[in-house]
Amino acid sequence: MAPLLEVKELEVVIKRKDRSVYAVNNVSFVVRQGETVGLVGESGSGKSMTCRSILNLLPRPHCQTKGSILFEGEDLLAMPERKLQQVRGKRIGMIMQDPMSSLDPVYRVGDQIVETLRTHQQIGKKAAWARAVELLRQVGIPSPEKRVWQYPHELSGGMRQRVMIAMAISCMPRLLLADEPTTALDVTVQDQVLRLLQRLKREMGMGILLVTHNLGIVAEMCDRVVVLYAGKVMEIASVEKIFASPRNMYTKGLIRSVPQLDVTGRLEGIPGSLPVMTQPVVGCPFRERCPLATEDCARDEKTRLIEVSPGHWSSCIHHERVCRS
């Protein structure tokens, strides 16, 4: 199946007065129709920057991007802003990380859904309001005829997140970008939101790029996983292979740091911290924290992403030792 989204050698550099930050380094991956791809890694690894780059939402001129992002064969990075506005919200929907700051506090939630609908579709105001009520019902908000007239501050966190999802799917997008869609939600509401996304994917046949640091969510939601560290892709594989047989020491460290119900004692964390990203990444960015690191890990040509088994990619030259350890 041809990729719905294809990110090729994406680089993002944040320019500041005194220095530059190399936030995303040569990132490549694909998302196909009807699949959910998880973009995972610890805070500061470049997940949200990669996600926002897809819709060219990074502030200019402070953020500079290179590479290509092909959506249904069209390069979004080379697309004129006027045409890109027709893609945002219509062909690609996005759920932002914090619904309270993403929803406009001075407009009713119905107004905001109606605006999205009328921006991208030839639809009258009355029909748009009826569609807004139906969308709120579709995402599981009780009494949608009442909620559509309320302001964001009158809704709970879970309801605000559902409103964001309703806006994101209002124009039946082909691709949904979900940037930490369950942040700050309690476990019960989190489960409801994830089940909702799974149902909508089945019903609409869309692809989902799910940005998260929660491996439990990855195991439940994703078909394939892209592991990022310091803005670089460390590993790509199916969710089954990632958990059963990781081929990168960073991925293995992430999995070991997840609490297990049948294991007692202290958690096994990853020592050290992210490298300073004011210079381009050379070699493996995880080598200072990796127990398997050798001199070759500091060489770019030795740490390129390679296919270590069918459909399983790793940038680690010690991937066989990782598998055995």
At 208, the amino acid letter reads I
- Higher-pLDDT residue of 123, 323: 123
Whether 100 shows a pLDDT value over 80: the answer reads no
For 286-322, how does the pLDDT look when each residue is reduced to its tens digit (9 = 90+)? Answer: 999 999 999 999 998 889 999 999 999 999 999 999 9
pLDDT of residue 143: 95
Tokens encoding 280: 């381009």
145, part of any domain: no
Whether 184 shows a pLDDT value over 80: the answer reads no
Cite the DSSP H helix spans in the chain.
47-54, 81-87, 99-102, 109-120, 125-138, 144-147, 157-169, 187-204, 215-221, 239-244, 249-256, 319-324
pLDDT of residue 16: 86
Which element (helix H / strand E) includes 14?
Answer: strand 5-15
What's the rounded mean pLDDT across residues 246-257?
Answer: 93
Domain coverage including residue 218:
5-102+174-324
What's the rounded mean pLDDT across residues 198-224?
Answer: 92
pLDDT of residue 265: 66
Cβ-contact 15, 63 below 8 angstroms: yes
At 156, the amino acid letter reads S
82, part of any domain: yes
The rounded percent of the chain whose pLDDT value lies above 90 is 72
For 53-96, how does the pLDDT look when each residue is reduced to its tens digit (9 = 90+)? Answer: 999 999 888 899 999 999 999 999 999 999 999 999 999 999 98
Residues whose CB is less than 8 angstroms from the CB of residue 138 and which lie 6 or more positions away in sequence, other chains included: 166, 169, 200
pLDDT of residue 258: 82
Which CATH number goes with the domain that contains 204? 3.40.50.300
Q: How many domains does the chain have?
A: 1
Residues whose CB is less than 8 angstroms from the CB of residue 318 and which lie 6 or more positions away in sequence, other chains included: 249, 292, 294
Which element (helix H / strand E) includes 37?
Answer: strand 36-40
135, part of any domain: no
- The whole-angstrom separation of Cα 144 and Cα 99 is 18
- Split at pLDDT 50, 70, 90, the class of 264 is low
132, part of any domain: no
- The whole-angstrom separation of Cα 96 and Cα 88 is 13
277, part of any domain: yes
Q: What is the pTM of this model?
A: 0.93
3-class secondary structure, 54:
helix
318, part of any domain: yes
3-state SS string over 168-204? HHCCCCCEEEEECCCCCCCHHHHHHHHHHHHHHHHHH
Whether 99 shows a pLDDT value over 80: the answer reads no
- The whole-angstrom separation of Cα 79 and Cα 77 is 6
260, part of any domain: yes
pLDDT of residue 158: 87
pLDDT of residue 263: 65
Whether 261 shows a pLDDT value over 80: the answer reads no
93, part of any domain: yes
